Chains A and B, each alone.
Chain A
Amino acid sequence: MKLNRMVEEKLTNLYRQGKVVGGLYRSLGQEGCSVGSAYALERGDIFTPLIRNLGAIFVRGGRPRDVFAQYMARAAGPTHGRDLNVHFGWISEEGSMPSVISMLGDMVPVLTGAVIAERMKGRRTVALTWIGDGATSTGAFHEGFNFACVQKAPIVVIVENNKWAYSTPTHKQTANPRFVDRARAYGCFGEQVDGNDVRAVYEVTRRAIERARAGAGPTLIEADTMRMRGHAEHDDMKYVPPGMIEEWAARDPIDRYERWLVGSGHARPEELQAVTADLDASLQADLAAAEASPFPDPRSGLSGVYADRRVRPPVPPLVAEWKRRKGRV
């Protein structure tokens, strides 16, 4: 969680420095939802993080250095500069991460199909993804989740109810803000959890994943949390009622976990500080490496549209001929 937060803090600075362009979306205050749940996955499982699930990427082996390079549009980033922020992915035996896209809800049918495929191959792979309260309003979510449920596909979907979709509060998003109720409507399991209690998130997700792996079908988990920053860094959140931020700041997931670790004797404060310091040092190194790495070659964006053919060259034929003839004289 610390890593999640610290990486995002660095990214925020980079954004303000113009080194990350396009937009920056944070998961401040929601780190528990991503990290706790991701720990419940096993080797070979599939997961797709959305924009506020950076923590999950680190749990599953993603490296901060790659994330920095990706956000800064460098050639060394996983998409070689072609797409931004968490829009990258991989397919591997260790565990796959099909890339998310900006169109919300689309991951649910995609992951449903992925685990159905795994099932056809005789495997017991489970998929995990997250979705915002707002994104559950899309047709894609409904179609995907309905299909997953009727198929009893081994997929777990965590609805991170962070109370806001951009500026839209949940009461304008849906008439029933108890998202866990939808599980009954879809005919699957449903559980609620305090999203800022990372240990609880882990437990609930683990149960759901085991259930899915055993063939009992999807679980819809509603995680109660709060988006502590604007929709993106350019959003100042003026529409959030003043008391809400303070109220939720007291429930910060990292603070709570640290208190529990110390209180239960699992760690001493100095140890936690040392962890933070180590993280900071290694992140500095990662950031420096990413910052020093080059931008992609301008022409490198023309390949890879298809497997088996190239697209036509970008220069109009008459211009190409004109240039050739000019060169000759």
Chain B
Amino acid sequence: MTDVIMPQMGESIAEGTVTKWMKNVGDKVQRDEPLFEISTDKVDAEIPAPASGVLKEIRVQAGATVPINTVVGVIAAEGEAVAAAPPAPAASAPPAAAAPSTPPAPRSPAPPASPQADGATGPAARPAPSQPAPPVPREPPRPAPSAVPPPPTPTPSPGPSASRADMTVDELRQTRSSPVVRKIAAEHNVDIREIPGTGIAGRVTKQDILTHIEGKPAETPMPGLTPAPPASAPSMTAAKPTPPVSAPSASARVEVVPMSPIRKKTAEHMVLSKRISAHVTTVFEIDMTRVDHLRKKYRQPYEERSGVKLTYMPFILKATLDAVKAFPVLNASVEGDAVVYRHDINIGIAVALDWGLIVPVIRNADEKNVLGLARAVNDLAERARSKRLKVEEVQGGTFTITNPGVFGSLFGTPIINQPQVAILGIGVIEKRTVVRDDAIAIRTMAYFALSFDHRIVDGADADRFMAHLKKGLQEFDESAL
């Protein structure tokens, strides 16, 4: 069987009119013999038969206009069985057999609820061979009730029950935020509306929701975490115009101050570090009398010879570096399932500035002697305060030292500076009464607190490290000066 179709005579042509059939049903046709004529917007043409055989059927009569590619006739090969053709869709004749009392079969896949009057069940469209098929309905099918989708309801979203179309842009920002925020909110089963938003129009940003999910803010606001940027004062950000949703409205008693980028960064890092590392802190009491003695002894010569101010820090640095060399796991980091040992020892020294925290780094500090360390410390601190640090000078640290003792703290539990695994906090260095050889003595003492990441640093490692440090300071080798 070969279909005869309405051809497309020209790119923009979409339909054609059959003007004349040159053959009648039952006539023999030869391939390429003129079979029918058409007329279109562009051209009138004779259409040759696509195959040889017998013109079995004419489906589109002369005078009718149909879309291109419509089957207008059928040619049967000679000797092909003559099958009862399905009735032409144009006429909607009632079936000869018992008319179904059910409504016309819907085109949707749902089968009719009740069986056909003639007892046949199942999908209504399959005709029994001896019965004419039920007529294909001409009117648009009435969908079965079950097939109708419910009218679109607004996705139950946090926020006003009005549909999205009724919400203003700002309302949408506050309640629906952005795709990534919605995703995180869904993952953690959090209502966006309940989170303070620092973005435009009070929008909850990705950082806002992540911070919220981390839970409480850091226990101790200990210095020790670096924001990446160097020390130039960050300009105050554009103040966020709307206060967090859950805060009391701003009034004379409540002042809302948006965070500077450096504060924001610090806040993020503190929380993140706590989440990443298994923080444990161990505290050693170290006798700094000898160091103090050496400091006083060499202060003037250093100043005169090299113009360098000699503080406790170079001594502490030297002893710490020796200890780090002896216990390299304190200078490592964690990457996935691996411990990454770093052979460069880049010590960061936390400096508290008016506008935030900065941690300049002394690269390859272990290659410097006490003089070199003193120089580096002074230089970095001075440039940190005058905002002249370079970007690379606050990056790449492998171990950090912080000095809360400067403000009087006995000792703290500093937060590790990611991706490092240890941070050493120096408490106030002061004279205390201690017991030496069963007698009371007055010595210059300080508590040193090491926070370490218990994922790769065990308590024993940490304590051995501290013991080494303690020894290194208490028995400081004068020849190093």
Q: Do chains A and B touch in the complex (CB under 8 A)?
A: yes
B238 pairs with A326, CB closer than 8 A: yes
What distance in Å separates the Cβ of A323 from its nearest Cβ neighbour in chain B? 9
Tell me if B200 and A329 are in contact (CB < 8 A).
Answer: no
Complex Cα–Cα for A190 and B238 (A) = 72
B200, B238, B239, B241: most-surrounded residue (chain A CB, <10 A): B238
> CB-CB < 8 A to B239: which residues of A?
326, 329
Interface residues of A in 297-329 (CB under 8 A from B): 321-322, 325-326, 328-329
CB distance from A327 to the nearest CB of B (A): 9
CA distance A116 to B239 in the complex (A): 65
A154 CA to B313 CA, complexed, in Å = 93
Nearest residue (CB) in A for B169 is: A321
Residue of A nearest to B201 (CB): A325
Considering only CB atoms, which chain B residue lies closest to A323 in the complex? Answer: B238
What distance in Å separates the Cβ of A319 from its nearest Cβ neighbour in chain B? 11
Interface pair A321/B200, CB less than 8 Å apart: yes
Q: Are A328 and B200 in contact (CB under 8 A)?
A: no
In the assembly, what is the distance between CA of A320 and CA of B238, in Å? 14
Question: Chain A: which residue is nearest B239 at the CB level?
Answer: A329
Number of interface residues of B (CB under 8 A): 4
Residue numbers in A under 8 Å from B241 (CB-CB):
325, 328-329
B-side contacts of A322, CB under 8 Å: 200, 238
In the assembled complex, the Cα of A255 lies from the Cα of B258 at a distance in Å of 78
In the bound complex, how far is the Cα of B238 from the Cα of A326, in angstroms? 6
Shortest distance in angstroms between A315's beta carbon and chain B's nearest beta carbon? 16
Distance from B52 Cβ to chain A, minimum over Cβ atoms (Å): 52
Taken together as a complex, chains A and B put the C-alpha atoms of A329 and B201 apart, in Å, by 12
Cβ of B238: which chain A residues have Cβ within 8 Å of it? 322, 325-326, 329
Residues from 87 to 142 in B contacting A, C-beta threshold 8 Å: none
- Give Cα A217 to B239, complex, Å: 73
Complex: A325 Cα to B239 Cα, angstroms: 9
**Interface of chain A residues 247 through 296 with chain B (CB within 8 A):** none
Query: Within the complex, what minimum Cβ distance (angstroms) separates B235 from chain A?
Result: 12
Bound CA span A185–B239, Å: 75
Which residue on chain B has the smallest CB distance to residue A325? Answer: B241
What's the Cα separation between A329 and B238 when bound, in Å? Answer: 8
Which residue of chain A lies nearest to B237 when distances are taken between CB atoms in the complex? Answer: A326
For A328, the closest partner residue in chain B by CB is: B241
Tell me which residues from 221 to 277 in chain B have a Cβ below 8 Å from any Cβ of chain A.
238-239, 241
Q: What's the least CB distance linking B178 to chain A, in Å?
A: 13
Determine the chain B residues whose CB is within 8 A of the CB of A328 once the complex forms.
241
Complex Cα distance, B238 from A325, in Å, reads 8
A321 surroundings in chain B (CB, below 8 A): 200
How far apart are the CA atoms of A321 and B200 in the complex, in Å?
A: 9
Complex CA gap A79/B241 in Å reads 44
In residues 165-216 of chain A, which contact B (Cβ within 8 Å)?
A: none
> Given the complex of chains A and B, what is the CA–CA distance between A329 and B257 in angstroms?
12
Closest to A318 in B: B200
Give the interface centre of A321, A325, A326 by most chain B CB atoms within 10 Å.
Answer: A325
Q: Which residue of B lies closest to A329 (CB)?
A: B239
Min CB–CB distance A88 → chain B (angstroms): 43
Q: Could you tell me the distance in whole angstroms from the C-beta of B239 to the nearest C-beta in chain A? A: 4
| Bound Cα distance A242, B239 (Å) | 71
Complex Cα–Cα for A329 and B241 (A) = 7
The complex places the Cα of A322 from the Cα of B199 at a distance, in Å, of 11
How far is A312 from B200 in the complex, measured between Cα atoms in Å? 23
The chain B residue sitting closest to A327, CB to CB, is B238
Shortest CB distance A322–B (Å): 7
Interface 1/0s, chain A 222-253, versus B by CB < 8 A? 00000000000000000000000000000000
CA distance A326 to B241 in the complex (A): 8
Alpha-carbon separation in the docked complex, A328 to B238 (Å): 10
Separation of A162 and B241 alpha carbons in the complex (Å): 69
- The residues of A that contact B200 with a CB separation of less than 8 Å are 321-322, 325
CB-nearest residue of chain A to B240: A329
| Shortest Cβ distance from residue B7 to the other chain A in the assembled complex, whole angstroms | 37
Rounded to whole angstroms, the CA-CA distance of A328 and B200 in the bound complex is: 13
Expressed in whole angstroms, the minimum distance between the Cβ of A318 and any Cβ of chain B is 8
Scan residues 83-120 of chain A and give those whose CB is less than 8 A from a CB of chain B.
none
Q: Closest Cβ of chain B: how far from A43's Cβ, in Å? A: 49
User: Closest approach, in angstroms, between the C-beta of B419 and any C-beta of chain A?
Assistant: 33
Kindly provide the distance from the CB of B90 to the nearest chain A CB, expressed in whole angstroms.
Answer: 51
Which B residues touch A329, using CB under 8 A? 238-239, 241
- List B390-420 residues whose CB lies under 8 Å from chain A: none
How long is the Cα–Cα vector from A112 to B200 in the complex, in angstroms? 58
> In whole Å, how far is A81's beta carbon from the nearest beta carbon of chain B?
34
Q: How far is the CA of A68 from the CA of B241 in the complex (A)?
A: 52
- B187-219: contact bitstring with A at CB < 8 Å (1 yes, 0 no)? 000000000000010000000000000000000
| Bound CA–CA A269/B455 (angstroms) | 102
**Smallest CB–CB gap between B242 and chain A, Å?**
10
Give the Cβ gap from A18 to chain B, nearest Cβ, in Å: 35
Task: Note all chain B residues with C-beta closer than 8 A to A325.
Answer: 200, 238, 241
Q: Give the Cβ gap from A164 to chain B, nearest Cβ, in Å.
A: 48
Instruction: Give the CA-CA distance A43 to B238 in the complex, in Å.
Output: 63
Docked CA distance A22–B186 (Å): 58
Tell me, in angstroms, the Cα distance from A326 to B200 when the chains sit together.
Answer: 10
Whose C-beta in chain A lies nearest to the C-beta of B258? Answer: A329
Docked CA distance A322–B241 (Å): 11
CA distance A322 to B237 in the complex (A): 12
Q: How far is the CA of A322 from the CA of B200 in the complex (A)?
A: 8
A247–B238 alpha-carbon span in the complex (Å): 71
* Complex CA distance for A329 and B202, rounded to whole angstroms: 14
- In the bound complex, what is the Cα–Cα distance between A270 and B239 (angstroms)? 77
A172 to B206, CA, bound (A): 65
A272 smallest CB distance to B (angstroms): 68
Separation in Å of the B375 CB from the closest CB of chain A?
Answer: 43
Q: Output the least CB separation between A153 and chain B (Å).
A: 34
Among B122-179, those with CB < 8 Å from A are none
- Which residues of the other chain, B, contact A326 by a CB distance below 8 angstroms? 238-239
A-B interface, 3 closest residue pairs, ranked by CB to CB distance from nearest: A326-B238, A329-B239, A329-B241
Besides the contacts A322-B238, A326-B238, A328-B241, what 9 more A-B pairs have beta carbons closer than 8 Å?
A: A321-B200, A322-B200, A325-B200, A325-B238, A325-B241, A326-B239, A329-B238, A329-B239, A329-B241
Q: Can you name 12 A-B residue pairings with CB atoms under 8 Å?
A: A321-B200, A322-B200, A322-B238, A325-B200, A325-B238, A325-B241, A326-B238, A326-B239, A328-B241, A329-B238, A329-B239, A329-B241
